[in-house]
Amino acid sequence: MPLNAEADPDVQLMLAVQRGDRSAFERLFERHVRGVVGFAAQFVGTRARAEELAQDVFLQIYRARARYVPSARFTTWLYRMVTNACLSEVRRADHRYRVQVQDRPEDGGPGTSRSIPEAATQSSEDALLSQETLGRLRAVLAALPPQQRAALLLARLEGLSYEEVATTLACSVAAVKSLIHRATVTLRDRMHEEY
């Protein structure tokens, strides 16, 4: 996709950050932090860890602002960093995928625990997607190879084109096509009774 920097408000904000505008950085953060945390939570399994990863990624962006070149959409650059952070996290030897969200006391509840599907259902207006369904979907997602999971989420959740997914994952468009197809078929075959 040819870049039209003028058409991407995020690129304009990032260029303002590069010129030293801290408020532009905060606006970028506000626009994308929910999406980044939601995306990261599918990899790391806990909201608290996903928030930490999001913080780390935005700090990286701020530190790398001088080197930013608007050669792609801002979200492509952003999710490249997020995906790399998530893939590093799941490759860590001590990583264990956890479905439960352990809210830390400083996050509001004294050690309270609630599942991500429950949290998701609260925000979903679609009553057909039950907690049980979303819980199973999360389990199937978690069982996908990390590259397939990343490609699928980038395309379906963030709406990136295959070419943008390829840029984000640093692989070919042909590889992305294969990753997304396999993930789509796996999810379909394991969740087919849901639709």
Partner 1 sequence: MSACQDFSEDLTAWVEEQLPAQRWEQLSEHVTHCPRCAAEAHSLRAAIVWQQRALQAVAALDGVDPLALKVRLRRELRAAADDKAPAWGLRAVWATTFGRFALAGAAVSVAATVLLLGVGPEMVLMPLGLEAPPPAVVQQTDFFKDYPLIERLDVLEHFDTVESVPLDDDGSASQHG
Q: How far is the CB of 152 from partner 1 (least distance, A)?
A: 8
Q: Which of residues 11-30 bind partner 1 (CB under 8 A)?
A: 26, 29-30
d(CA 75, CA 63) in angstroms, rounded, equals: 17
Q: Which stretch binds partner 1 (CB under 8 A): 9-17, 74-82, 83-91, 153-161?
A: 153-161
d(CA 178, CA 183) in angstroms, rounded, equals: 9
d(CA 86, CA 56) in angstroms, rounded, equals: 11
SS3 113: strand
Q: How far is the CB of 12 from partner 1 (least distance, A)?
A: 20
Residue closer to partner 1 (CB basis): 98 or 156: 156
Q: Which of 11, 14, 41, 53 binds partner 1 (CB under 8 A)?
A: 41
Report the amino acid identity of residue 23.
Answer: S
d(CA 171, CA 166) in angstroms, rounded, equals: 5
Q: Which of residues 44-73 bind partner 1 (CB under 8 A)?
A: 47, 51, 54-55, 58-59, 62-63
Backbone φ and ψ of 127, nearest 5°: -65, -20
Q: How far is the CB of 103 from partner 1 (least distance, A)?
A: 7
d(CA 10, CA 122) in angstroms, rounded, equals: 29
Q: Nearest CA to 72 among 172, 10, 3? A: 3
Q: What is the DSSP letter of 146?
A: H
Q: Does 171 bind partner 1 (CB under 8 A)?
A: no
Q: Which of residues 72-111 bind partner 1 (CB under 8 A)?
A: 101, 103, 107-108
Q: Which of 53, 117, 148, 167 binds partner 1 (CB under 8 A)?
A: 117
Q: What is the DSSP letter of 45?
A: S
Looking at the DSSP bridge assignments, the partners of residue 30 are none
Contact positions toward partner 1, by CB under 8 A? Answer: 26, 29-30, 33-35, 37-39, 41-42, 47, 51, 54-55, 58-59, 62-63, 101, 103, 107-108, 116-117, 119-124, 126, 129, 133-134, 137-138, 141, 152-153, 155-157, 161-162, 177-178, 180-181, 184-185, 187-188, 191-192, 194-195
